[in-house]
Amino acid sequence: MDADAFRRGPITVTAFDWVPRFAQGHVRDLRVRWALEEAGLPYETTLVAQGEQRQPANLARQPFGQVPTLTVGERSLFETGACVWRIAETSEALLPSGTAARDDCLAWVFAAVDSVEKPIAMLAMLRFFTKDRDAAERAQPDIETLLHERLTRLSDALGEAAHLSGGRFTVADLMMTAVLRDAGRGDLDPFPTLKAYVARHEARPAFKRALAAQLAPFAENAARYRASAPGGAAPNS
């Protein structure tokens, strides 16, 4: 999947045709769409219906039955870190030339999807999805402390700088912003520089195009999901 393959296309991203409101604007295909927009690469989408993600067609693309996947010509990739990195490799807009700069970006992309995303995802699981509420409430403070510590270190590493690496917007900022956007309400409040960092990158035209493209099918398909929900009302739609 080299730069020529991206130029030849076609490029396709899988995404859901609808998700409940709390997840709208946060489904991970946003990262891939945003990277493609920054790189100036046109793409199409294959929409996966709710409940179809574990069907053979999607499992063949994504072994965990999730979205997104990125297909370029004949080849497919899963995991947003891998997809976004491959896109970045095609574009100076996301990845500067020079081994040291690229290494730095690579480290920050992994930091985003591992060191920072892990406690954010664990907290979301404990707050909203864990069925044993007593166990969730016992575990939560430790994870909140871990996230606070990670965000403190990140905020210190960023300091007064606008960007994580090389004094300009790169794939490192794209991935870190995407991950920080998924933090729970209030979790970023003690870190005004991180909130400003996220807001600055959300104002980028490429981000706005990616977000609008993710949201468009949700609006189109909401009525269909509402109609098929028990009692005719899809919650959070």
Ligand X SMILES: N[C@@H](CCC(=O)N[C@@H](CS)C(=O)NCC(=O)O)C(=O)O
Q: Which residue intervals of 130-204 are DSSP H helices?
A: 133-158, 171-180, 192-202
53/237 with CB nearer ligand X: 53
Distance CA 14, CA 102 (A): 27
Smallest distance from the beta carbon of 27 to ligand X, in angstroms? 5
Smallest distance from the beta carbon of 113 to ligand X, in angstroms? 6
96/183 with CB nearer ligand X: 183
Minimal CB distance to ligand X: which residue?
Answer: 66
31/102 with CB nearer ligand X: 31
Smallest distance from the beta carbon of 125 to ligand X, in angstroms? 11
130/155 with CB nearer ligand X: 130
Residue 54 near residue 201 (C-beta atoms within 8 A): no
Q: How far is CA 151 from CA 50, 105, 137, 156, 160, in A?
A: 33, 18, 21, 8, 15
70/164 with CB nearer ligand X: 70
CA 222 centroid distance within chain: 22
Smallest distance from the beta carbon of 18 to ligand X, in angstroms? 12
- Starting at the edge strand found earlier in the chain, the sheet holding 44-48 runs 44-48, 11-16, 69-72, 75-78
Sequence-ordered list of residues with C-beta below 8 angstroms from that of 161, at least 6 positions apart, any chain: 167
- Pairing, β 44-48 against β 69-72: unpaired
Smallest distance from the beta carbon of 49 to ligand X, in angstroms? 12
Smallest distance from the beta carbon of 177 to ligand X, in angstroms? 15
81/96 with CB nearer ligand X: 81
Positions that interact with ligand X (CB under 6 A)? 27-28, 53, 65-67, 79-80
- Element at 78 (helix H, strand E): strand 75-78
Distance CA 169, CA 189 (A): 23
